[in-house]
A and B are shown apart, each in its own frame.
Chain A
Amino acid sequence: MNNLMILLLLTLTFVVSGCSESQESGVAAQGNEVQSLIDQAIAADQLAQQRQHAWIITDELLQDAITAQAANDEVAAKAAAERALFTANAALAQADKEQLAWRARVPR
């Protein structure tokens, strides 16, 4: 009976530690995703800056993402990073479109 209890306890311990392990790797996976988003947004924003089409809001959102990340607020960091990537890409799309679109506005 005692042996059974010990076996049960040991099993329980392994199961519980196993659970927390997967929990940790879950958080780590999210953290990497946020960092990846931030990196992508920074890269896109830098590209926009080189093309002289950067938007002010991208940098503001990046700062929000980085601050939230440092405060371990993964949810807020991810949201801000996604928005930063969106606006950075929007700025690039604007630069692409405007390469030709501007000509239509020149009075003749």
Chain B
Amino acid sequence: MKFLLGVLITLGSMGYVYADPESDREAFVKFYAERFANVDMQDHKDGAYALDKAKRAQWLEMEEFPPYELAVDEGRALFSVPFSNGESYASCFDHQGIGVKQQFPKFDMASNSVITLELAVNQCREANNEPVLDYLGDEMGYITAYMAFTSRGEHFDIQVPDAGLAAYEQGKQFFYERRGKLDFACSSCHMTAAGNLLRAEVLSASVGHATHWPAYRFKWEQVGGLHKRFIECNEQVGAVGLAPQSEAYRNLEYFLTYMNNGMELNGPASRK
């Protein structure tokens, strides 16, 4: 009897945990649709600027002549320069690398891991005997800013094959797991408290979190990627940040981007 109960509980909890990604996403979106009934779902791609009129007005003014324009120009130039061996970024991506950002992150069967755009850029460089770029450096920012720019207007349609479920689940766990001295999970701020003020900032909804990267953050005075933000967020709650493009962050990006399926890409973006 006890054994049977144990089996049922285990199966039940497994069944709960391993609910399919699509059911997860529907529940995820429903949460934000109910929390922000007056906000169009697509507007969440603008993050906190979808939730605060005054901030939005200031941000729109800045968007008329956005600070990431310089990065996009640099990226466009870098993208067209061939590697020493004559190849270029275009040879590593579909459509010559133009308008492909929405494909990332993707689960790679061969390596049994999640490939993000930044990782793909460095893999491209490695394959062509070029030195890899610092994930938190300017050049990676320029290239990804340009690639994001060419993908504006596209929509996410991330796939989670059976082989990718474990990575997806790990990303999901990370999102909901409390960490750091402040004992906050991503969901603590961006789900439970989404729309609330945290000090002087409005907390944005995670349903728009993957769309606008890389971002020019005034705080950074540079264009930085999503993993730079992950590190920053982790450190803000007192947790030691992990390495950019570490497995945990790539899995988190995988989960987060899947949750953003159907959302329109609007990177690169400017953020405070």
CA distance A101 to B191 in the complex (A): 16
CA distance A52 to B28 in the complex (A): 25
Interface size band for A:
10 to 19
CA distance A107 to B248 in the complex (A): 21
- Is A55 within 8 A of B178, CB to CB? no
The yes or no answer to B17 lying at the interface (CB within 8 A) is: yes
Chain A proximity of B98: nearest CB distance (Å): 36
- Is A102 within 8 A of B180, CB to CB? no
B-chain residues with CB within 8 Å of residue A98 when the two chains form the complex: 177-179
CA distance A77 to B158 in the complex (A): 52
Binary flags per residue of B228-254, CB closer than 8 Å to A gives 1, else 0: 000000010011101000001000000
A-chain residues with CB within 8 Å of residue B27 when the two chains form the complex: 106-108
A-chain residues with CB within 8 Å of residue B28 when the two chains form the complex: 107
Given A107-B27, A107-B30, A108-B27, A56–B239 Cβ distance below 8 Å? Answer: yes
Chain A proximity of B172: nearest CB distance (Å): 7
CA distance A103 to B16 in the complex (A): 9
Binary flags per residue of B41-71, CB closer than 8 Å to A gives 1, else 0: 0000000000000000000000000000000
The yes or no answer to B185 lying at the interface (CB within 8 A) is: yes
Chain A proximity of B64: nearest CB distance (Å): 37
- Is B173 within 8 A of A102, CB to CB? yes
- Is B185 within 8 A of A49, CB to CB? no
Q: Residue A105 contacts which of B16, B17, B181, B187 (CB distance < 8 angstroms)? A: B187
B-chain residues with CB within 8 Å of residue A54 when the two chains form the complex: 239-240
CA distance A59 to B239 in the complex (A): 11
The yes or no answer to B36 lying at the interface (CB within 8 A) is: no
Interface residues of B in 5-54 (CB under 8 A from A): 13, 16-17, 19, 24, 27-28, 30-31
Q: Residue B240 contacts which of A49, A101, A107 (CB distance < 8 angstroms)? A: A49
Query: How many B residues face the partner with a CB closer than 8 A?
Result: 28
Given A55-B181, A56-B235, A87-B181, A106–B176 Cβ distance below 8 Å? Answer: yes
The yes or no answer to B183 lying at the interface (CB within 8 A) is: yes
CA distance A21 to B6 in the complex (A): 62
A-chain residues with CB within 8 Å of residue B238 when the two chains form the complex: 55-57
- Is B240 within 8 A of A55, CB to CB? yes
Chain B proximity of A100: nearest CB distance (Å): 8
Chain A proximity of B13: nearest CB distance (Å): 8
The yes or no answer to A23 lying at the interface (CB within 8 A) is: no
B-chain residues with CB within 8 Å of residue A90 when the two chains form the complex: 181
Q: Which residues of B are at the interface with A, using a C-beta cutoff of 8 A?
A: 13, 16-17, 19, 24, 27-28, 30-31, 172-173, 176-181, 183, 185, 187, 191-192, 235, 238-240, 242, 248
Having A53-B239, A102-B185, A107-B27, one finds 4 other A-B pairs with CB under 8 Å, namely A56-B181, A101-B178, A103-B13, A106-B172
14 contacts across the A-B interface (CB closer than 8 A):
A53-B179, A54-B240, A55-B180, A55-B181, A55-B239, A56-B240, A57-B181, A87-B181, A102-B176, A102-B178, A105-B185, A106-B27, A107-B27, A108-B19
